[in-house]
Structure 1
Amino acid sequence: MEDIKTNFLERRRQPFLTEGFYRTWERETFEIARPTTERMLADHSASLRDRKALLRAHASETTDLLHLRYTAGEPIEKLRGDLDEVVETWEAFARAAGVIGANPAGSIFGFGYRSEYLPAVLLAGLTILLRREDLLPRIDALCFGFHGADAIYEELVAPFIPGRGFVDTWYHAEPYTAALDAIDSDDPAEQSALMKEAVERWYASNEGMPFHGTHKDIDDEGHGGYFGYWCFELAALCYLKDIDDSRFRNHLTYPKDLVDFARAYRTEPDRRLPPEPGAATFQVLSARPGEPCPREGVWFAVHLRGKEIRMRQGETMPGPEIGPSGAVTWYFKGP
């Protein structure tokens, strides 16, 4: 019989998470929290203020679940699909708040407050690393009131949204000054050293945030607020600016497999479902161990330390099913 606990311990991406906490929190989200939220939102007698509070809490909970699933070692291609729901829940809150709609104004994230700024840049960074750039304009609309106001945020979205210019101001010095210095440097070694400094200071810089230190309080009954500590925004900058991360890629908070995925991503026709009218027609080509190879060429597995193999179409994709850092999925790299 498969040892589920052992597999979970091998699959998780940070050592603090227990399988009991993960399974309990995920189950209670779908069996208790979400049905309760749906009932309360269906109560049309609720005030706009109460509805906005519910919608914001629901969006935060959905985001936390995505972070938790990443921490638990869920496959990256599954997380790519989960991201749609995260954006949709934030949009529902933004519509209620008047940030998006016929007369957009303001932002659902107040960049001046770290507790609101961090969710915005983490969402943008994770979206980039998952190679869901198609969602960035929708995320950017949630931050309408802060367009052109913060250098870190602009460095993340500018490559994908036309008309954005250089910004030389930012709201939070730590750890972002070092990251911006890395971006500005022309010396690859200095870039790497400065970004290493930013990554290593990321967790300490967020002392006082609600998530800080939560790994100390979780239990198998689902208590606690630990969903993972990940500097998605800094990792996305490493990917976008092609910064050498070899000096810090094993740092606890650095999502190295997402960076590897983003760098190796290739758009390929969807081999499973025909595209809906008006929908995107390209996505990453992938296969799990034991499945037939869908296309001849070079394939790589993030959770086998980036191992590459050459396969012929129809051959069985090799195992193991679980690698050193998570569940194995093979991704097509090229002919």
Structure 2
Amino acid sequence: MRSNQFFTDLDTTNYIQWLIENSQTYCSEAYITKSIEECNGRQDIRVSNYRMSCSLSIDLLRSLYLRGDSIESLRPFYLQTRERLCLLEESIYACGMEKARMDIINPTKVGMLLALGHALGESRDEIGRNTRAMSAGYDLFIDRLLSVYDPARPLADDIDHKPVYKNLYEVFDAPPEQRPGVIARYLDQWEKLLLKNKIPGQGYPVTEDLQPYWTGFWCYPAAAVVAALNIDDSSFINHEFYPTDLMKACAQYRGEPVILPPLKEPTLPEPPKRSPKRKPAPELLAPWQPLFESLVTVLPKSLQACLWNALLKWLNEEWEEDTFEAEDLLGALAAAQWEMALLTTYRRLTLLQVDWKDDESALSFCEAIARTLGIEDAFSPDPVTLNRPERVWEVLYTFHQWLAPHGYRLVAPLTGEDAYYALAVKTKEADTLITALEQAGLKVKTFADDQPF
């Protein structure tokens, strides 16, 4: 087993055998044909099976590396994975599923595949060929990484799991001489992210049930970036969380630093030029229309009208109660934002609603609110510095402090749910909004002091 701080004699034989057998089963024609027949002839089942085979194949590569197998001995398994990715790509196009998201769009899996391809001396054209089955437009980090091999690859608007990968993403736009430092600092953060179980598909090995299928703790995303951009890794080659043996094999193929074209900061999409006609308020909603207007002032008028109509549509389809209170308005308004795709289509948000422990979404939604306000600076705190037990509250409090110099405050109406609601309001208008919320029967928190609520 390769040297690591967690296990020295972990027997992964059974898991490796399971991966070998199941990765083969899922891509066998007999198994796929049977699965399609059992699902009434659905051809998309072929895509699902190939996707699972590819995912397990990459897990197998990670498990073999953990076991201590030589880099060269991984070649036949790598070539097998490459063949299965080709089958997946063909099935995706045959079924018209080019825009479907595949679960192999994961930085750890993609990172292992790319780094190993470089270590085995694959050409960049061939490595790029392996990535065509990986759907574009879902994760800016992965899209930017894969654009090294395919410059025409469409790019997503934002980084998936941004708190985990945003600091690594910075390397794409850093000058070549600064890149080693960016990678080294990120590797130092990797264990902290592991400890907090923030890395998708990468569990921290502290419980017994992780041991049978543990595939290592190395930072394959950083390794892939180093390999793709030809970064000099001599200053951190022996870092504990860097796959040292793998990257030593890459070094012999390293060329000149790769410089990516800078990305233009995406602008806010234009709102509709004409406001749609507002539908009349039903009896339940009519008393709350003035409060609605107060909650959506940060949006352009046409989007306010669109959101109002989306709210009515949601109420007509979903609301079954005889009463409708202020806290119900908040929940319905949050749902209406998704109903009209306010965030995904217009990249705006007026009311944040987030589960009490979902700090990752809280960060993303705060960024969206800042963008909606037209603030040019980016709200981008380092997630590693957020250490309080009340993580979502800490994100919101940090955002409140960040808003102050820009002339805004964050206001949080409480509904009694296991969720936080919050919205930004101009400082000079905050007292008026707070009074309106309190008169509606809601308790309001204003982040005036450093005390969780």
TM-score interval w.r.t. the shorter chain? Answer: 0.5 to 0.7
Q: Which of these residues, 216, 220, 230, is aligned with residue 232 of structure 1?
A: 220
1:94/1:100 contact within 8 Å kept: yes
Give the equivalent residue in structure 2 for 1:45: 37
SS of the aligned residue for 1:141 comes to: coil
Q: What are the equivalent positions in structure 2 for 1:165-180 lying under 5 Å apart? A: 169-180=158-169
Quote the offset at 1:229 in angstroms. 1.9
Give the equivalent residue in structure 1 for 2:54: 59
Give the partner amino acid of 1:60: S
Deviations 1:44-89 (A, max 9, x none): 5232365554433332222111111111121112223321212333
Q: Which of these residues, 201, 206, 211, is aligned with residue 202 of structure 2?
A: 211
Q: Distance in 2 between matches of 1:90 and 1:71?
A: 23
Give the partner amino acid of 1:14: N
1:130/1:258 contact within 8 Å kept: no
Quote the offset at 1:254 in angstroms. 0.6
Give the partner amino acid of 1:217: E
Deviations 1:211-245 (A, max 9, x none): 312464369xxx62201122222123223444343
Are the structure 2 counterparts of residues 131 and 176 from structure 1 closer, same or farther at C-alpha, using a change threshold of 3 Å? farther
Give the equivalent residue in structure 1 for 2:113: 123
57-66 or 37-46, larger mean C-alpha shift:
37-46
- Counting matched residue pairs gives 245
Q: Distance in 1 between matches of 2:19 and 2:143?
A: 33
Give the equivalent residue in structure 1 for 2:99: 106
Are the structure 2 counterparts of residues 142 and 30 from structure 1 closer, same or farther at C-alpha, using a change threshold of 3 Å? closer
Q: TM-score, normalised by structure 2?
A: 0.45
Aligned residues with identical type, % of pairs: 20
Quote the offset at 1:264 in angstroms. 0.8
SS of the aligned residue for 1:45 comes to: helix
Alignment pair present for 1:143 and 2:139 = no
Alignment pair present for 1:25 and 2:15 = yes
1:185/1:191 contact within 8 Å kept: yes
Quote the offset at 1:248 in angstroms. 3.0
Q: Distance in 2 between matches of 1:14 and 1:70?
A: 12
Q: Distance in 2 between matches of 1:31 and 1:122?
A: 20
Q: Distance in 2 between matches of 1:57 and 1:236?
A: 22
1:104/1:144 contact within 8 Å kept: no
Deviations 1:256-276 (A, max 9, x none): 22222112139xxxxxxxxxx
1:14/1:71 contact within 8 Å kept: no
SS of the aligned residue for 1:120 comes to: helix
Q: Distance in 2 between matches of 1:19 and 1:197?
A: 30
Give the equivalent residue in structure 1 for 2:71: 76
Q: What are the equivalent positions in structure 2 for 1:1-335 lying under 5 Å apart? A: 9=1, 12-16=2-6, 21-30=11-20, 34=24, 38=28, 40-43=31-34, 45-47=37-39, 48=42, 51-96=46-91, 99-101=92-94, 105-109=98-102, 116=106, 118-132=108-122, 133-146=124-137, 150=140, 152-163=141-152, 169-186=158-175, 188=177, 190-205=178-193, 207-208=197-198, 209-214=200-205, 216-217=207-208, 224-265=212-253
Structure with the bigger percentage of helix: 2
1:238/1:245 contact within 8 Å kept: yes
Q: Distance in 1 between matches of 2:97 and 2:47?
A: 16
1:13/1:70 contact within 8 Å kept: no
Q: Distance in 1 between matches of 2:50 and 2:144?
A: 29
Greater Rg over alpha carbons, structure: 2
Q: Distance in 1 between matches of 2:228 and 2:202?
A: 27
Give the partner amino acid of 1:146: G
Q: TM-score, normalised by structure 1?
A: 0.58
Q: Distance in 2 between matches of 1:107 and 1:128?
A: 27
Are the structure 2 counterparts of residues 243 and 104 from structure 1 closer, same or farther at C-alpha, using a change threshold of 3 Å? same
1:107/1:145 contact within 8 Å kept: no
120-129 or 257-266, larger mean C-alpha shift:
120-129
Q: Distance in 2 between matches of 1:202 and 1:263?
A: 22
Are the structure 2 counterparts of residues 126 and 232 from structure 1 closer, same or farther at C-alpha, using a change threshold of 3 Å? farther
Q: Distance in 2 between matches of 1:37 and 1:214?
A: 30
